[in-house]
Amino acid sequence: MIFSQRQKDRFMSYFFFIVATASIAVLFMIMLFLFMEGIPIFQKISPKDFLFGEYWYPTDEPPDFGIFPLIFSSLAVTFLSALISIPLGVLTAIYLAEIATYRFREIVKPIVELLASLPSVVIGFFGMVVVAPFLQETFDIATGLNLFNAALMLAFMSVPTICSISEDAIYSVPVSLKEASLALGATSLDTIVRVTIPASISGISTAIILGMSRAIGETMVVLMVAGGAAMVPGSLFDPVRPLPASIAAEMAEAPYRGDHYYALFATGIVLFVFTFSFNLIADYISNKYRQVGEATL
């Protein structure tokens, strides 16, 4: 049978559409399998005890499956790293978009991209062998593998995300708005603070949320430098065990379809819910508060 060009065209457009749904299909499969393998743990322990239980001793007899210390660790590490990465990322973005000369911009942008491309295992390794001994000696603490070190390393992983998305947003603020401000006798700084940033705030917020989402989901860095203690940290220099680290470290030893295995998948669900909601919020913000363009006529 011979198809006409028209039929072929039509057929291909369906084909492309089906392929394009692959991402959604994968996302759906991820959710499906996380839930399939994670839900059975709740026959042993209530969701409330799982989420808020203070003890994570999955291999004890009887085991304790309370992931509160892990959740707390994840949030602490993410929050602390955000304290470093948000100013660093946003200020760099402002510098690149508004102040830097063309030549400098052409040098710094690739550097930020290369920073983003460093494999997480290499950053983790660096944190282990360089930063940890340094921290241990400088602050005279028991171990350099701790909350602070992990947050610092994570910050450098989320800076590129925050920086490049914010920069796009700042850069696309119409020149006419900046000119109007300067023509009124505002300084460049006034213009940045009062016009450019407010006009691009939705893009900057999106950038920050995505950066934090990256930090909370990052695995190798926290696995290697966070120290691994499953307890609620009392200070900046206490070792912690964030959610991804716990999953990565224990999965190999967890007996297939045992309680520990189910509990780790359930931990994965919690982690997924965190990043998924971060992403939904980011998407909501960037759609709802679409950047203002040229004044509409």
Residues 93-112 that bind other proteins (CB under 8 A): 94-96, 99-102, 106, 108, 110-112
By the rule CB under 8 A, 137 interacts with other proteins: no
By the rule CB under 8 A, 7 interacts with other proteins: no
* Total Cβ atoms within 10 A of residue 173: 23
Q: Give 3-state DSSP helix, strand, coil % of the chain, rounded to 5.
A: 75, 0, 25
CA distance 65 to 187: 57
Check if the beta carbon of residue 200 is closer than 8 Å to that of residue 169.
yes
Residue choice 213, 227, 237, 240 for contact with other proteins (CB under 8 A): 213
By the rule CB under 8 A, 255 interacts with other proteins: no
Q: Which is nearer to other proteins, 83 or 118 (CB)?
A: 118
Question: How many residues line the site for other proteins (CB under 8 A)?
Answer: 111
Q: How many CA atoms lie within 13 A of 18 on its CB side?
A: 6
Contacts of residue 47, Cβ cutoff 8 Å, sequence gap at least 6: none
By the rule CB under 8 A, 256 interacts with other proteins: yes
Pull the structure tokens for residue 14: 């369906």
Check if the beta carbon of residue 138 is closer than 8 Å to that of residue 146.
no
Q: Which is nearer to other proteins, 61 or 198 (CB)?
A: 198
Residues from 57 through 76 that contact other proteins (CB under 8 A): none
Peptide bond into 63 cis (omega under 30): no
From 43-51, 56-64, 120-128, 230-238, span contacting other proteins (CB under 8 A): 120-128
Residue choice 39, 42, 53, 125 for contact with other proteins (CB under 8 A): 125
Pull the structure tokens for residue 56: 């994570």
The pattern of x and - marking residues 182 through 201 that bind other proteins according to CB under 8 A reads xxxxxxxxx---xx--xx--
CA distance 113 to 110: 5
Residue choice 137, 258, 280, 290 for contact with other proteins (CB under 8 A): 280
Q: Which is nearer to other proteins, 45 or 173 (CB)?
A: 173
Residues from 144 through 163 that contact other proteins (CB under 8 A): 156, 159-160, 163
Helix H segments across 39-101? 47-52, 68-94
Contacts of residue 197, Cβ cutoff 8 Å, sequence gap at least 6: 94, 170, 204
User: Nearest distance from residue 232's CB to other proteins, in Å?
Assistant: 22
> Computed from CA positions of residues 269, 271, 275, 278, in that sequence, does the dihedral angle turn out positive or negative?
positive
Residue choice 72, 244, 260, 263 for contact with other proteins (CB under 8 A): 244
Residue choice 76, 132, 204, 247 for contact with other proteins (CB under 8 A): 247
By the rule CB under 8 A, 169 interacts with other proteins: no
**Which residue from 198, 199, 170, 207 is spatially nearest to 282, judged by alpha carbons?**
207
Q: Which is nearer to other proteins, 54 or 164 (CB)?
A: 164
Residue choice 79, 121, 142, 172 for contact with other proteins (CB under 8 A): 121
By the rule CB under 8 A, 83 interacts with other proteins: no
By the rule CB under 8 A, 142 interacts with other proteins: no
By the rule CB under 8 A, 113 interacts with other proteins: yes
Name beta bridge partners: 28: none
